[in-house]
Structure 1
């Protein structure tokens, strides 16, 4: 019965969002109330459960998400992302242009959220494709694969960051393992799949695309942008700090060294929120002050970045509210009972649940957070690496992007594809990322 109520809740959510075009956040709150009532939660506990889920989720992610948005905006506005892309494309050369796009998109994708990275990189890809006289999709598939992989697997992106908080996983371990999982996923879904896609949907490689809807693009003169080294360092700095802290912690654990002031300081600096704050301060200097940009203009970029993510934060909070209702309403415990004595790995279960919710709901972040409400009570029964469960949830929530996902329509319109061609490129690509990601996670679980 609890699972039946959840299914009805998901169907209602789908109807409200896609049928009535209701705002996703509002739809999530309505469904949270409805599911809470249907599950028989005490009336005086419903509001506190929803508020607790929303506040608990945003309390963990808002700082990281907000600082990350500011960091990405500063790098983009200063031309740092443009410098990274153009330098790598020049260094790799025409024959290895796809790999240049993959590496550039991966680096930029760590600093910028999926939609922002897509809008920023597409004009560059269009320009290079015309210069080299290659199909837009030939470069577009590797670019989209790299952006999707960073979005699904790597903090400080909203999905992996929020789920790490819900599962209580170490975000540094999520980052390290995420990079390991990301590499084969982006290679297979990007340059490798491009060759197959040309046979499956050859028509897609004849399209010229259309980016008029992006409006007038900011034009950078390469000599006026920050240097390549400082641009990469600024974009990667939070990753570097969190990775160093995680490695030091692993060494401390393996050697049995006692905690002291040094390790406490390392943990403080390596904390995701601290790393993002330090990285932002560095970006204010490298992308702004050192280039004689007035502080007022730099702060304006930061303010604009926050205004763009306001609704996304509310949607994430709404997903957290729905998750909490599933836990407090006993659905998670019910699922845990169903799998008591089962040999199914929580990693596989998290992937399956997230994949079903992703196909149903469209939003990867909402699917991931809803999965947490069903999986969290199960985790206490198994000795499982929580960072891998986070990544499995992210992999499941990346699968089969189709008509109920905004990313599907962005790819379709920008590249000028038909519905069939979008399914044959973007939908298959997202599914490859998900499946290859799961395979890598399962292999990793054998050794960590």
Structure 2
């Protein structure tokens, strides 16, 4: 009973993390060993499988993830993110303030990881809400939606990038299709959902933000920050390079040196390397910041992601055990004659794991181990499998997810209010993402 073994493994994982407070990475490795043994894998193959899962995931992801963290850190430290947010908000005006927050958060969210973007943007949103005399949640919901969507659907974020590796998908194609999925998800879960939330939990819109936990905030004078155009260009540079390479590859089929060069430049690792070099100049050297300070910023960024990278590696190990232990093939055989779309099944598996595990990245990677054989048997577009799995991994964030508690504390909400705002908006993103992916699957 491979599925029963996996289910027991997930329960044990939850107990280790939630009850015994064991580190998530260690818990994942312990459970990977236990599940591998229970699945009857040869004992001399277990360590190889776990090491292969960690190496296969981190080996590709570490360069993109590490350089991405450095890019975001430079952008934040130099005031580029502050410039992007305040400029857009000032230009859109009070009437379209939610859309200004969405666009600013979307641009910043591409360069920064979810938690970092949230910490960076909340003080700005608090200040704007106070100035315009609007509820902080009125701006906070669109902000977190935009950050969550980039986290779930768009490379170079760790989840979508790792899923692209697991499904052997073209990262540039994931990026382009991810933008298509993101637009309706942001609109429905942002401005539209805000209206419903205001009716369901009106008291939550009377709250004042609680940013005391963030500690002293770095203050910027707008005139001392980098320009809006160069800040936006720096944040979007890796996306631009990957998108150009993907579009070029779609239209130019014949092999040539030019095509190879453009594809090399647009590869995620190269794009991120070129982006960090650009940011070193635009956010550092051009502003007369000493190289020593720039490199210190890079070092701090790298140190801050070390544990998250290990956790993602642990998720990769668990995924590889499921594949090598035959669980993926078992699931594929189980649904061999099913009329259900592999895209829907991948979403369901990721959604169940998200509810159990909390971490969207770990849920997505584990789901990939189960869903990859379904994709192979049905010839579904790998990029759409990435997005379907990513959508499932965002659903119904609750008490076992750090994002739930961050949203609750920063917006000063009760647990019930957090469920009716944060948990529901994440579910709207997930379901909207699934619907759009299924629609795309019918035409691609």
Please indicate the TM-score interval, normalised by the length of the shorter structure: over 0.9
For residue 341 of structure 1, report the CA deviation from its aligned partner: 2.1
Provide the residue aligned with 2:87 in structure 1. 87
Unaligned runs of 5+ in 1: none
Counterpart CA distance in 1 for 2:64 and 2:423 is: 29
Pick aligned residue for 1:383 from 336, 360, 379: 379
Pick aligned residue for 2:366 from 370, 373, 378: 370
Structure 1 length as normaliser, TM-score? 0.99
Kindly report which structure 2 residues correspond to 1:28-427, keeping only aligned pairs within 5 A, or say none: 28-253=28-253, 258-427=254-423
Deviation string, structure 1 residues 51-89 (Cα, Å, up to 9, x no partner): 000011001111000010000000000000000000000
Counterpart CA distance in 1 for 2:209 and 2:228 is: 29
For residue 378 of structure 1, report the CA deviation from its aligned partner: 2.0
Deviation string, structure 1 residues 260-295 (Cα, Å, up to 9, x no partner): 100000110010000000011000000000000001
Structure 2 length as normaliser, TM-score? 0.99
Counterpart CA distance in 1 for 2:302 and 2:434 is: 33
Counterpart CA distance in 1 for 2:19 and 2:303 is: 27
Deviation string, structure 1 residues 363-413 (Cα, Å, up to 9, x no partner): 000000000110112222112110000000000000000000000000000
For residue 209 of structure 1, report the CA deviation from its aligned partner: 2.0
Q: In 1, are the aligned partners of 2:375 and 2:385 still within 8 Å (CA)?
A: no
Matched residue count: 444
Counterpart CA distance in 2 for 1:239 and 1:102 is: 18
Unaligned runs of 5+ in 2: none
Counterpart CA distance in 1 for 2:440 and 2:223 is: 43
For residue 187 of structure 1, report the CA deviation from its aligned partner: 0.7
Counterpart CA distance in 2 for 1:208 and 1:282 is: 38
Runs of 4+ in 1 over 6 A off after TM superposition: none
Counterpart CA distance in 2 for 1:245 and 1:345 is: 30
Deviation string, structure 1 residues 110-133 (Cα, Å, up to 9, x no partner): 000000000000000000011011
